Every structure is written in structure tokens, then in C-alpha cells.
Structure 1
Amino acid sequence: MRYKSFRCLAGLMLALHVANGIALGQESPHRGRYNVLFIISDDLNTNLSAYHHPLVKSPNVDRVAQWGLKFERAYCQFPLCNPSRASFLTGLRPDRTRVYDNSVHFRENIPDCVTLPEFFRKKGYFTARVGKIFHYGVPTQIGTSGLDDPQSWDLVVNPRGRDKDEEAKIFSLVPGQFGGTLSWLAAEGTDEEQTDGIGATEAIKLLEKHQHERFFLAVGFYRPHTPYVAPRKYFDLYPLEKIVVPSIPPGYFDTIPQLAITLKKEEAAMDDNLKKQAIQAYYAAITFMDAQLGRVLDAVERLHLRDSTIIVMTSDHGYHMHEHGLWQKRTLFEESTRVPLLIAVPGMQHAGKSTRAIVEMVDLYPTLAELCGFQPPANLDGTSLVPILNNPDLPGKEAAITQVTRSVKKQIVFGYTVRTDRWRYTEWDDGNQGKELYDHDNDPQEMHNLANDPQYAEVMAKLSKLLPKRHK
């Protein structure tokens, strides 16, 4: 739908809610139309009850879904923490931030960029961060600011809990190694002693203190990022006999490009029981995180903030739990590129519904700016999702683009994938090191690579034109 501009007397411009959606007009005064509560869970895939997972319990993600609109097909731009966060928090694609790993701060490459929270700070909002929003290493940098962006915030909180203090108790596939290695712990003690429990407590305090002013509060939960640490009661929710380990057919890895495979030697050595334990721990960490989300949502309701606050619940990228025989992230398959995304706007007509529109994480910046009555910066790469919030039946974008890098003979090689309504098409090194094509109408698990079938040559040629090219 199109939105008509309207004129109001200065100081009397209010948020308007109409029967057919969210009415938007000229730029609001500095106070803005709404608060923003931006919640991100680290390494969270769509293994959630709201996304129809048969086992995982996530009632509070469900609650956000009931308050807002659930995006069934939202995609990150780079399935690794720092590049993804640098992208959606600046509104720029990775090839513009030039952040491709977890060590580079985006301001080294784009020093004058105005980030999403900084944009709201410049509009007079109180901006605060609790936990991991910009990147820092988990668990090594828990309790620090890592690669934070100080000019984005009025206040920061770096929680540090029992999980950090008890690292010696954590089981790891590589003893003593955490972060990028599968590792887990069924912890003793209470939720509130864990880093995410402390983060929820601090977020609630900030909601209480700033409830009567415009705020942009970003809450970054650490779980379910490995090590999968959660109180033991959450592990008990997922008996090993109920865990299903995804399987692959013999010879499967021979059907896909070598650069598509990220399996580590310690992961390849896992037996079925150890795989089930890893999956159990990941599910437990999700439900523990969800419980902390619930505490924050309870505060939103208790403080009567639902009518004045946009709530975004999402993740930085997806995650593998042995789909395709792989673990964790940094692939260009659906499980790694797709993210949960829920947006709740006060007074929205379509609360509790879902959309299959194709959207990207880079769309969040212009969406939140527009919803709050501000003109988004002109240099952003994303597209506002406000039309979809008003009409979930809209198709969204023609395609979502995700990319990763690989190191080949000490040279960086890029992989790009395009996800359309029906297809996923991937090129490694502009196709020089392999291609993949998957038909989601007939193969939603992306297990049958059609790239070598001549009958799909025309489809691949059309999809290839949507991908960035590194070699002209």
C-alpha cells in the first residue's frame, strides 16, 4: 500500500493506527513515534516452536510472534557473527563494510558510518546495549566490550556470569577450547547466575528507569552460542532418546563443491550418542535463552510499554545441527543463512500472523527508522519492511543474497548464494570452484544439487545474474 503524506501542527504529531495497517506520515519530532526494544540471540536458528519445530520449547519467542508478525523467510547477509552484525547494524552489505571475519572493526573501513543505534541516538533517543550486539568473542570476551562501537550508545552493560567462571567444567570436543568448538555444560545453580540471566536483569532495570522517555534498548543474549551452557533443568526437557540426528546418504559430500563442506575433524569423529548430546545441549541453551527473553517481556507488560514500543526478536545468522552432515555456521545452505525474525509494532493489524515474503537482515535499519517516523539514511542497502507489516501477503524481494569466504592456498575466495521464492543458487569463486542449485518446491532440505543437470542451465544463467561477481 502507499502512504499519504499529511500535515499536523508542530508538537501534535502522533502515531496513527488505522484499520488497514500502520499509517505513516512526515518525519516525527525528535522524540520519535515509538521506543525500540531490539533483541538478538547469538547463533540462533529456526529450531523454535514458533517455526514449527516439533521438540524445542520456546514459549516466549512464541509470545513475540503473537504480538507481531513472523517472517518465515528472512536471511542474513553473512553467516558469521561479526560480518553479519556489522552489516545489519550499519544497513550495508558485507561488500560495502568489507568485514569478512571476526577480527575487523567496521569503522576501520567505514569510519563515518552512522549505525542503527547511533541514528536513534542522534534523534534524541536514550540508547543502551546489554550484552552482545556488535561483535565480541564468546566465551573469551564475555564481560568486556569486545568490538563494540562506543559512539552508538549512551550506556553499555557487559554482563558476566557463572558460565564464564566455570569454564573448566565445560565439556569440549577439543579439551580446553571453546567458542568455535562444540562444547556444553548442564550447569548447577539458577538462571539469574548465568550471563544471560544477569543480562535480562539489567535490561529490566533499564526498562524501569527509562520507561518515560524514548529509548532504543538493544539486548544481546549469548545463548545458544557454543559453549551451550544452561542450568541442568533445561537439559532435562530433551531426553536423548527423543533427539533425532539428521542423516546424509552415502557419498553425499561428493555431490557438492568442496568449499561447501565445513566439517572439522573432531566433528567427523563424533559417534551418534555424542551428536545427540550436542543437539540436546543446543536445544537446552535455546530454551534457557527463551526463559530470559520471557523475563524481559514480562517487564514490558508490567510497565505498560507494549503500546509504545516496537519489539524486534532475531539472530545474527542460522546454525547447523548436523543437517548436511555439518555443524555450526559459515555455510550457504538454508539452515545457516535463514534467521528467525519477528517484529511487533503497537496497534498492528496483523499481529499473530506470518509472512513468506523474502526479506534480509539489512532491511531492519530502514524499517525501524520509518516505523519511528524518521527518514532513513539514503545510503542504506536495505528496503523498509513496513509495506509487508501492513500486508503480509506481499512477496517481498525477488531474492536474498548471502555470502561467505574461504581460504584456498592462502587466498580469500568468495561464495555467494541467492535465495528466491523457488530456488537457491550458489557460486563458489564465481563458479570456478563449484556451483549448487536447489529446488525448494521439491527439495526443501537442499539435498539434491541440480547444478550439473543440463536441463537447469537456463535457470542457473538467470539466477547467476543476481549474484555479485568478483572477477569482471
Structure 2
Amino acid sequence: MIFRATVLGFLSLLAAPLLHAAARTNVLFIMADDLRPELGCYGSVAVTPHLDALAARGMLFRHAYCQQAVCNPSRSSMLTGLRPDTLGLYVNGTHFRELKPGVTTLPGWMKDQGYTTRCVGKIFHNWHTKEHGDPRSWSAPEFLHYANHGDDAPQVSGELPPNLATLSSTLRQYGKVPLCECRDVPDEAYYDGRVAAEAVRVLGEVKDQPFFLAVGFWKPHAPFNAPKKYWDLYQRDRLPPFDPARPAAAPEIAFHASTEILGPAENQKRPTAEQAAEMRHGYFAGISYMDAQVGKVMAALERHGLLDSTLIVFWGDHGYHLGEHGLWAKTSNFELDARVPLIIAPPKARHAGTSTEALVEMVDLFPTVTALCGVPQASGLDGVSLVPVLNDPKARVKDAAYTQFPRPAYPDRTPRGKPEVMGVSVRTPTLRYTEWRDYDTGSVVADELYDHTRDEAEMKNVASSPQETAALQQARQLLYRQFPPGKR
């Protein structure tokens, strides 16, 4: 009897780590590229049933902000839990490990805690001349990460159907493909369909162990080339109108040349009304295409019985302009570029189907994921856990969110090789205040103040209005907490 008890006790000790592992919370971490909060669950006309269903399982964050509105700085900031200033990273062409070789990443940290970490699609920035993503963060090589948006040509067997998009395709090429493309092809003809298929396969591979699966979709980033069935979800003349006017009294430095979409400034062709409408149509089609791929991954998670043991996070790396303010794409400090979609759905969420007005930042995701998974917190992070908000939608963990962007928009492509001016911006519950500071001296060369209680579209800079003195002073004090005066 004593022998039997001893044996059983010994076996229970051996099984304990396995039982603990089985009880761990898995993570499905989903990214979208260039997606502003244009989802049905945010009140948009976008057709996004799968992400709307995810929002019904968790909490939707109405005021989530990226730290810099371009791919590499935003993703590197979120994945390390460090702000661009902490990393010293403001451009797409520099790998964060060139600046901080030993920095900890969220997937790397989860890997250190015993998770199997996998990357499918674009998670870290797709450096075209560097190592593939960040190999030390993952338990296996990344899939379809090291690619180029301009190479996303349809891959089909047999004859390629015709391109039914004709207006914007005459504006310019996007790399090797048309800027707009509407072909009747299957989902897997383009990157995101193949990303979804591989994510489904990997789920089957890792389902019996604690996993952190990052799935990075390439859409709705340009080129605007979703399969035709997603274009067919929209009537172009019924998409919301937009105002191309610049905000009154806004400084010139707040804007950029929209070169990603319109091409080099010296030989740009401004889009006609018809071309602008087609590009906007293509953007919405890309959103629905991406949403459908999310649905495939979610369905696989459910088939494996993993919904109730998996934390699901969905976010966009930064916002986007579709002609508003006369701008296309990103690289500004305006609300449309800084604000992003964010949905967090823990297993058996306490407040499923709710939304929150709390101000949050993407730098907060690292400590939030680790807290929800019950693993040790990494040290030295710039963000804070959002668990208090998930426990109470009315809770607040910060009174401001911060975004920044340099000028020129791509300083690494200039002879100087670094910014001339840095724009630093604070978002409060009611205001956005931005200072443009000389990069070398820190002196303010221009400022902007937008009152979101009266001007959600940011169409009037009121920084010089006497009646806004008190509001301006409050916003400045909050800005100076993160970006002290006299510094870039």
C-alpha cells in the first residue's frame, strides 16, 4: 500500500508540469496592415462579420493608438513594448536589433516561458535586405514574412482572369502589380489566402501544446487587389464620402506627399474623382478579404476545441488616409493615422461584447498579454497592462496616448539620413495636440490643436485661438510628460 502510494505520488509529480502546461492560456495574435478602425463593429460600412463576431467575444477598444504611423517603428514598438524614442527607431529600413541587439520581444519572451511560438505572415517588418524577421523570437522559421507588397501578383492555374479595375491602374503601378486589381480568383491567389491556409495548418500542428501563434495579414495595405467577390460586397457610389480639404490653419509640415500611393512628388498625377473612388473601393474590398481569412483561422481554432483556452488579440499596426486631408496612406500625426482597431478576447471574457473609451497604446499589448497568460512580466517595458480595463470597461489606465512622426517622412532616404523635424503628439479624451520640433535643437517650429468635442475630423487647427488657451495649456502639460520641452 505504501509502495502504491509512493508510485502514484511520483507519477503525479511527473505529470504536474504537463497538467500545468495543458491549463496554460494559448495566444492567437492577429495583425492587419494599414487598417484604420474601419470595421462593422466600429460602426463602419465595412463588411466584416468575422471580426464583428470576435468583438462580440471580447472587448473592443475605441481609442487605441499606435506610437508611429508606419510599419517598422509601429510593429517594433509594440512587439518590444518600447516606444520609438526608447528604441531610437523611426524608419522602415533599420532592423531594431541593429539598435538594441539584446532587446526582448513579446514572442521571444513567451518562448522563454515555455510556449511554442510561430509566425505566419507579416508580423515584424518585412526587411528586404535583412534577416527574415526575428528568428530568435520563434520556435520555427516564419512563413511568408519576407516578401514585398508590390510582388503580390495573383497565382492561379490556367488562364488569369481579366483585371476589371481600370481607372486607378492607369494612375501608376505598385511595384510589379497594378495599384488596383479586381480579378475573379480564389482567396489563395494572393498572400493573405495563403497566410490563412498556413495558419490553419500550424494550428493543427501546435494544438496540443501551449502556443503563441502570430498571424500577420498583408491587407488592406496597397495594392488594392482583393479577389472580385470582395469588391462585389460594395457599391462604390454608396461608400461614405470624404473631405479632401486640408485642416484650416494647419502648418505645412503636418502633411506629406503621399508618395506611397501617388508616386514620386516630382511627377505625381493627382487622382481623379473616379480613381479616388476606385482606390477607396479597393481598400474596403481588402478589409473584407482580410476579415474572411480571419474567419478561417477562427473556425480552425473552434474545430480544435481551443476557443475557451485561447486569448485572441486583433490589432492594426497604424491608421490610414483615403484622400482625407488631401492625404493617401500613412506617415502623419493626424487621428486617422494614429488611431487603430484593437480587440482583445480572453477566454470566457468577463465583459464579452462590450467596448471601452479608455485611452490605450499599442505599447501596452506586451504587458497585457503576459498578464492574461499568467507568465512573469518582462522588465523595463514602456507600456502598462490593460487588464484593469478588461475587468471594468469604465476603468482608465492612462490619461493620454502618444504618437510621433518625423519629417521628412522617410528620413533614411535623404542625404542627411536622419530627421530634420520630429512631430510629437498627445491624444487626450477630448483633444489632440502636436508640436513639430527641430530635431537638432528641440525648438518648436509649428503646433496644432484639434478639439475632438467639436471637430472629430480634425478640420480646424485652433492652437492660436485665444478661447482655447486653457485647453492648449492642459494638452501641453500632458505632452511634456512624455516629450519634455526642448527635446526632440
TM-score range, shorter chain: 0.7 to 0.9
In structure 1, list runs of 5 or more residues that go unmatched.
1-8, 15-27
**Alignment equivalent of 1:148, drawn from 116, 133, 158:** 133
The 8 Å contact of residues 247 and 460 in structure 2, kept in 1 or not, is answered as: no
**How big is the shift at 1:443?**
1.1
Alignment pair present for 1:420 and 2:410? no
Relative to the length of structure 1, the TM-score reads 0.87
**How big is the shift at 1:307?**
1.0
**How big is the shift at 1:148?**
0.4
Count of matched residue pairs: 442
Closer, same or farther: CA 397–10 of 1 in aligned 2, 3 Å: farther
**How big is the shift at 1:376?**
1.2
* Distance in 1 between residues matched to 2:123 and 2:114, nearest whole Å: 20
Alignment pair present for 1:390 and 2:398? no
The 8 Å contact of residues 136 and 146 in structure 1, kept in 2 or not, is answered as: no
Q: Which residue is 1:24 aligned to?
A: none
Superposition pairs of residues 322-401 of structure 1, within 5 angstroms? 322-401=323-402
SS state at 1:255 partner:
coil
* Distance in 1 between residues matched to 2:375 and 2:295, nearest whole Å: 30
For 1:154, the aligned partner's letter is: S
Alignment pair present for 1:157 and 2:121? no
Per-residue CA distance 1:309-331 (angstroms, 9 max, x = gap):
00001110011112222111111
Closer, same or farther: CA 158–272 of 1 in aligned 2, 3 Å: same
- Structure with bigger helix share is 2
Per-residue CA distance 1:376-399 (angstroms, 9 max, x = gap):
112000000001100011133110
Closer, same or farther: CA 12–440 of 1 in aligned 2, 3 Å: farther
* Distance in 2 between residues matched to 1:310 and 1:90, nearest whole Å: 19
For 1:217, the aligned partner's letter is: L
The 8 Å contact of residues 162 and 195 in structure 1, kept in 2 or not, is answered as: no
Q: Which residue is 2:265 aligned to?
A: none
SS state at 1:350 partner:
coil
The 8 Å contact of residues 257 and 433 in structure 1, kept in 2 or not, is answered as: no
Superposition pairs of residues 19-34 of structure 1, within 5 angstroms? 33-34=24-25
**How big is the shift at 1:301?**
1.0
Q: Which residue is 1:3 aligned to?
A: none
**Alignment equivalent of 1:115, drawn from 95, 105, 109:** 105
The 8 Å contact of residues 178 and 226 in structure 1, kept in 2 or not, is answered as: no
Q: Which residue is 2:216 aligned to?
A: 220
The 8 Å contact of residues 21 and 210 in structure 2, kept in 1 or not, is answered as: no
For 1:284, the aligned partner's letter is: A
Q: Which residue is 2:286 aligned to?
A: 285
**Alignment equivalent of 1:39, drawn from 30, 54, 73:** 30
If you compute each CA radius of gyration, which structure gives the higher value, 1 or 2? Answer: 2
SS state at 1:222 partner:
strand
Q: Which residue is 2:468 aligned to?
A: 456
Q: Which residue is 1:72 aligned to?
A: 62
**How big is the shift at 1:193?**
2.4
SS state at 2:302 partner:
helix
* Distance in 1 between residues matched to 2:231 and 2:348, nearest whole Å: 37
**Alignment equivalent of 1:436, drawn from 448, 453, 469:** 448
**How big is the shift at 1:78?**
0.4
* Distance in 2 between residues matched to 1:449 and 1:162, nearest whole Å: 36
Relative to the length of structure 2, the TM-score reads 0.84
* Distance in 1 between residues matched to 2:472 and 2:215, nearest whole Å: 41
In structure 2, list runs of 5 or more residues that go unmatched.
1-11, 263-267
Per-residue CA distance 1:126-147 (angstroms, 9 max, x = gap):
000001000016xxx5xx9865
SS state at 2:283 partner:
helix
SS state at 2:420 partner:
strand
The 8 Å contact of residues 184 and 228 in structure 1, kept in 2 or not, is answered as: yes
Q: Which residue is 1:5 aligned to?
A: none
Alignment pair present for 1:471 and 2:483? no
SS state at 1:304 partner:
coil
* Distance in 1 between residues matched to 2:202 and 2:236, nearest whole Å: 39
Per-residue CA distance 1:76-97 (angstroms, 9 max, x = gap):
0000000000000000000011
The 8 Å contact of residues 434 and 449 in structure 2, kept in 1 or not, is answered as: yes
Q: Which residue is 2:4 aligned to?
A: none
State the superposition RMSD in angstroms.
2.8
Q: Which residue is 1:198 aligned to?
A: 194
Q: Which residue is 1:25 aligned to?
A: none
* Distance in 2 between residues matched to 1:11 and 1:184, nearest whole Å: 58
**How big is the shift at 1:405?**
0.6
* Distance in 1 between residues matched to 2:187 and 2:66, nearest whole Å: 30
SS state at 1:442 partner:
coil
**Alignment equivalent of 2:225, drawn from 229, 233, 239:** 229
